[in-house]
Structure 1
């Protein structure tokens, strides 16, 4: 593998600290989120480590050499519905098709293990991510104003039939 090759590898427990820290730092810088967001991400990762079923739930980390570039997770919501979680791209890795590749990997996995639907939770302010979801056939099925992570936001729920 050359140093410029990007791979998607399985999420490993030693990725947790990086993933929580990067979510916290990027969302603080780009969205003005407070520290409670990184704490939420850390709790999601703790829950994943303690309870996930590797047959129907998976996490991936995009990496170039030793540099982590992003992540995406597919977790079970119920027997027929999966939830996309912790979709992150480092700013330097955006606009190169990596987000699409991560999303396709998650969608393919969800289909392959038998889910009928994939859902996700995001915020209206995440314009690039929402455009990517829309391009891939997701529909926004709910929006509601909230005060979360120290900010007034509009939460969105998106879904796609698989």
Structure 2
């Protein structure tokens, strides 16, 4: 059985994070190239401007040190953090790694003094939404959109500490 390690994100992980998101969401949801470009832009901004005292990213790696999952925590304001770019690759889903990453991110936000967190996702991400719900998040807004070449239902979730 593979033992996954969670380590801090570094800018050298950006190419993997962008490619993994683009590949996954193209194959699973049919997202077009605008999604990969969005992830690339978010990473570029994070690498250029994030506050390491209040923002972080994590990469989960397998026994061979290959990246298999990621999650990020960024500031919205002094009281609220935002969960971003959460991805667990298909090959390692169902082993509790998503839960571990989510707890890592939430624990970081709490330790840094945030009072709550927000996230943005789509209704079609059923497993992720179930994970959020099981861990105390609540759906606060939902609306139909056309994004990334698809008709989707965009969702906003939040949790308060």
Distance 1:116 1:157 in 2: 17
Q: Which residue of 2 aligns with 1:160?
A: 159
Q: Which residue of 2 aligns with 1:126?
A: 125
1:40 partner SS: helix
Q: Which residue of 1 aligns with 2:109?
A: 110
Q: Which residue of 2 aligns with 1:99?
A: 98
Alignment partner of 2:3 out of 2, 5, 30 = 5
Q: Which residue of 2 aligns with 1:18?
A: 16
**Is residue 74 from structure 1 mapped to residue 73 from structure 2 by the alignment?**
yes
Q: Which residue of 2 aligns with 1:84?
A: 83
Distance 2:108 2:17 in 1: 21
2:2 partner SS: coil
Q: For 1:80-127, what per-residue CA distance to the aligned partner results, in whole angstroms no more than 9, with x for missing partners? A: 000000000010110000000000000000000000010000000000
Q: For 1:29-87, what per-residue CA distance to the aligned partner results, in whole angstroms no more than 9, with x for missing partners? A: 00010010000000000000011000000000000122111000000000000000000
- TM-score under structure 1 length normalisation: 0.97
Distance 1:108 1:128 in 2: 21
Alignment partner of 2:44 out of 24, 46, 50 = 46
**Is residue 34 from structure 1 mapped to residue 32 from structure 2 by the alignment?**
yes
Distance 1:8 1:113 in 2: 19
Q: Which residue of 1 aligns with 2:146?
A: 147
Segments of 5+ residues of structure 2 without an aligned counterpart are none
Q: Kindly state the Cα deviation for residue 17 of structure 1 after the two structures are TM-superposed.
A: 0.8
Segments of 5+ residues of structure 1 without an aligned counterpart are none
* Equivalences, count: 160
